[in-house]
A = this chain, B = another copy of it.
Amino acid sequence: MCQLLGMNCNVPTDIVFSFTGFAHRGGRTDTHHDGWGIAFFEGSGVRHFVDHQAAVDSPIAELIKRYPIKSTNVIAHIRKATQGQVALENCHPFVRELWGRYWVFAHNGDLKEFAPILHGPFRPVGNTDSELAFCWLMQSLREEFGDTAPAMPALRAALERLVAQVAAHGTFNMMLSDGTALFTHCSTKLCYVVRKYPFVTACLSDEDLSVDFSQVTTPDDRVAIIVTEPLTTNEAWTQFAPGELIVFVDGLPQ
């Protein structure tokens, strides 16, 4: 099993604090040492970093902890290989383009007897069940809506239906974003917190580090953090229900 971290905000925000705690699970406070990755949307562009080294040893992870890239949608993943060897092409998140937007996807879990027929333009490059599921989701969305992106209610309804079909094959905790919304689905384990005014001091579980968000935010800021296991010891994390899909837009669950 791997671990997921997502962020969705109403103003571009850096993820340095949360990523610092999360990256420690990649080989130090946990056993997720088979690679890691993170993708940041900036406008419609994406910065995508993957590394098959453990996050705790990776010079690229070190850069991200020091360099505050500001983004409204971020997806990060640390990997413990269950299917597919340890290789760069198997590191999440994966990126594809659909409807002139980049889509970023990461998965935690394991799928059994999941072998959809891919007859469209989306094919896995690596050999994980996760990338296969992502390609099938992209193919299915394109089949359903053609060459034009649908409005949010139709997109959400389609994803709820499609994600449930994948989740019937095993554990499918996942995060998906097109840069405007963060779609999150829980099979077994996912939780979130919304940081908003009045901001408090948060203390990381995985490292002796705290930050007073009131010093680095404005009263209008709103930041949702979604993660496999709570990152902080003094915030009220909301657990997802099994089978629940939550869409975050502008830092709020919809």
Contact = CB atoms under 8 A, between A and B. Distances in A.
Interface residues of A, number: 39
A102 to B, nearest CB: 6
A95 B95 contact: yes
Contacts of A48: 48
Contact of A125 (B45, B51, B88, B91): B45
A88 B46 CA distance: 7
> How many identical subunits does the complex contain?
2
Contacts of A42: 52, 87-88
A48 to B, nearest CB: 5
Given A45-B88, A95-B95, A120-B121, 17 more contacts: A44-B89, A45-B50, A45-B87, A45-B90, A46-B88, A47-B49, A47-B88, A49-B49, A59-B67, A63-B63, A97-B122, A97-B123, A100-B123, A119-B147, A121-B121, A121-B122, A121-B142
Interface of A: 42-52, 59-60, 63, 66-67, 87-91, 95-102, 119-126, 142, 147
8 contacts: A44-B126, A45-B50, A46-B88, A47-B49, A60-B63, A97-B125, A98-B121, A100-B123
